[in-house]
Chains A and B, each alone.
Chain A
Amino acid sequence: MRVDMFENIWSYRELFIRGIWVTLALTAVGYIGGFILGLFVGLGKLSKRKWIYYPAKYYVDFFRGTPLLVQILLIHTALIPSLFGHSLGFFVSGSVALMLNSAAYNAEIIRAGIQSIDKGQMEAARSLGMPHNTAMKLIILPQAFRRMIPPLGNELIALLKDSSLVTVIAASDLLYAGKVVAGAYSRFWEPYLTVAILYLILTFIFGKIINMIEKRFSNSYVPSSRKSISSDRRSRTGGDKR
């Protein structure tokens, strides 16, 4: 009986595969957009100018202080129809909602990352005559990004999971595939367990990739110190290559 059910699920595999792609696409668009927007909002929260600071602050407060589910419904059923006169489909609404939401979380990560860089770095850059924005771009952000990698990685995995909320606006994502099968057979264990396992595999893969990136950018700025030692040795025996 149970084996039969998994066979039924297998016959829906294309729906699940499509669901995985939709989930990944929503996550990717939401995350990349959320990162870029979050960078500006995060910088805004560091601004001394009130007319920049307060909009950034209220933005973060709103999107962190209200449920994502509510934001998705507001954007899909109210905001977009009133801006464009009609719905633009679940993908636009869903990715916009995920983007706006993750921007608020990323903004806080980016702000904290920038603030964690020693004040002396900005002072040294300014004392060399760099304007504030140049110093931010060349000196502060490259250092801050390294420290942001772990929390930004967590944010990516959180967003991947949260993207399942767009099912409420009939998005054909991974969770939706499970829902369809559950509805078709009135069975709940197998379809939703399948969905859970597929999410688990996705978050596991993302976790591995993030771990690799973290390792690559942790503790030392010296690019792969091991390699440079061995190439030193080679150049010592084989003459100076430079």
Chain B
Amino acid sequence: MISVRNLHKSFGDLHVLRGIDYEIKEKEVICVIGPSGSGKSTFLRCMNLLEDITKGEVVIDGVKINDPKTNINDIRREVGMVFQQFNLFPHMRVLDNITVSPIQIRKMNKKEAEELAHQLLKKVGLSDKANAYPEQLSGGQMQRVAIARALAMKPKIMLFDEPTSALDPEMVKEVLDVMKQLAVEGMTMVVVTHEMGFAKEMGDRVLFLDQGILIEEGSPSEIFSNPKNERTKAFFSKIL
């Protein structure tokens, strides 16, 4: 579904991604782990062109996204993204946060979009917050709204960049539970996370990134119980 081929990304002289090759299949949950600064966010952001790709290619459903002829906006509609800092639109009610894109971009009519939004809010457990403003929500609630907002575009793939890292510990679970439910429903997901528990439980594959290189890849049990690479071992000895 997503093919990443020889992906390189530089910021000026800083060579952040150094040739990543990977195939993501439909309905897979891919967890990306690695030390800070290893390029996890950059890797994720290249998949919806929030960063332009320096070299190599990313192909989603047969469409090369970093082709000048490809319409970036069309690609992004199919790829939902959830950010560490939520990035809800503070000047809009929760309902409008969710409907703005379907109405503007998918040309859905208002009533239809609001029905969809109410369904999604129910799904993330926030039916009573449709008329609240983001500033009236807790971090966990904001992140669940952000997930609902991304889902409203009916994306084929969801990207999560450390969705629980900015949350107070007691709110992590409510967000992870929503993500688990999505995974169970068969959403294709790429999740950058420090939540090893989530990776172990829900990940189909775990990718270990270090210094812009995909060092090791495998099922959670392979990676967590039996890492082959020295750097992976060193990483686990530090965090576990």
- Give the interface of A toward B (CB within 8 A): 118, 120-121, 123-131, 134, 138-139, 142-143, 146, 220-222
CB 8 Å contact bits of B132-163 with A (1 = contact, 0 = none) = 01111000000000100110010000000000
Of all A-B residue pairs in the complex, the 3 with the closest CB atoms, nearest first, are A129-B77, A124-B87, A128-B101
Chain A nearest CB from B150 CB (Å) reads 7
- CB contact between B87 and one of A120, A129, A138 (< 8 Å): that residue: A120
Q: Is the CB of B133 within 8 A of A221?
A: yes
Closest chain B residue, CB of each to CB of A225: B136
Whether A123 contacts B105 in the complex (CB less than 8 A), given A129-B153, A138-B100, A221-B135, comes out as no
- Give the interface of B toward A (CB within 8 A): 48, 50, 73-74, 76-77, 79-81, 83, 85, 87-91, 100-101, 104-105, 133-136, 146, 149-150, 153
Per the bound structure, the CA–CA distance linking A188 and B140 in Å amounts to: 68
Q: Is the CB of B135 within 8 A of A124?
A: no
What residues of chain A lie closer than 8 Å to B74, measured between beta carbons? 129
Chain A nearest CB from B142 CB (Å) reads 12
Per the bound structure, the CA–CA distance linking A109 and B101 in Å amounts to: 29
Per the bound structure, the CA–CA distance linking A34 and B91 in Å amounts to: 26
Per the bound structure, the CA–CA distance linking A125 and B48 in Å amounts to: 12
Q: Is the CB of B91 within 8 A of A128?
A: no
Closest chain B residue, CB of each to CB of A142: B91
Per the bound structure, the CA–CA distance linking A227 and B136 in Å amounts to: 15
Q: Is the CB of B91 within 8 A of A129?
A: no
Q: Is the CB of B135 within 8 A of A222?
A: yes
What residues of chain B lie closer than 8 Å to A138, measured between beta carbons? 100, 104
Per the bound structure, the CA–CA distance linking A214 and B88 in Å amounts to: 23
Q: Is the CB of B85 within 8 A of A120?
A: yes
What residues of chain A lie closer than 8 Å to B150, measured between beta carbons? 127-128
What residues of chain A lie closer than 8 Å to B83, measured between beta carbons? 120, 123-124
What residues of chain B lie closer than 8 Å to A131, measured between beta carbons? 73
Per the bound structure, the CA–CA distance linking A222 and B81 in Å amounts to: 26
What residues of chain A lie closer than 8 Å to B146, measured between beta carbons? 124
Q: Is the CB of A143 within 8 A of B50?
A: no
Q: Is the CB of A222 within 8 A of B133?
A: yes
- 6 residue pairs A–B, Cβ–Cβ below 8 Å: A118-B87, A127-B79, A128-B153, A129-B76, A134-B104, A138-B104
Known A127-B79, A129-B74, A222-B135; 15 more pairs at CB < 8 Å: A118-B85, A121-B87, A123-B50, A124-B87, A127-B81, A127-B150, A128-B77, A128-B101, A129-B101, A130-B105, A131-B73, A138-B100, A139-B89, A143-B90, A222-B136
- CB contact between B91 and one of A126, A134, A143 (< 8 Å): that residue: A143
Per the bound structure, the CA–CA distance linking A118 and B105 in Å amounts to: 22
Per the bound structure, the CA–CA distance linking A191 and B104 in Å amounts to: 58
Closest chain B residue, CB of each to CB of A131: B73
Q: Is the CB of A128 within 8 A of B76?
A: yes
- CB contact between B73 and one of A121, A129, A220 (< 8 Å): that residue: A129
Closest chain B residue, CB of each to CB of A138: B100
Per the bound structure, the CA–CA distance linking A139 and B83 in Å amounts to: 17
Closest chain B residue, CB of each to CB of A132: B73
Closest chain A residue, CB of each to CB of B152: A128
What residues of chain A lie closer than 8 Å to B91, measured between beta carbons? 142-143, 146, 221
Closest chain A residue, CB of each to CB of B134: A221
Q: Is the CB of B104 within 8 A of A127?
A: no
Per the bound structure, the CA–CA distance linking A235 and B74 in Å amounts to: 44
| Residue from A121, A128, A142, A220 with most neighbouring chain B CB atoms (10 Å) | A128
Q: Is the CB of B87 within 8 A of A126?
A: no
Per the bound structure, the CA–CA distance linking A182 and B48 in Å amounts to: 70
Per the bound structure, the CA–CA distance linking A120 and B149 in Å amounts to: 15
Q: Is the CB of B133 within 8 A of A130?
A: no
Q: Is the CB of A126 within 8 A of B133?
A: no
Chain B nearest CB from A227 CB (Å) reads 14
Q: Is the CB of A123 within 8 A of B87?
A: yes
Per the bound structure, the CA–CA distance linking A33 and B231 in Å amounts to: 62
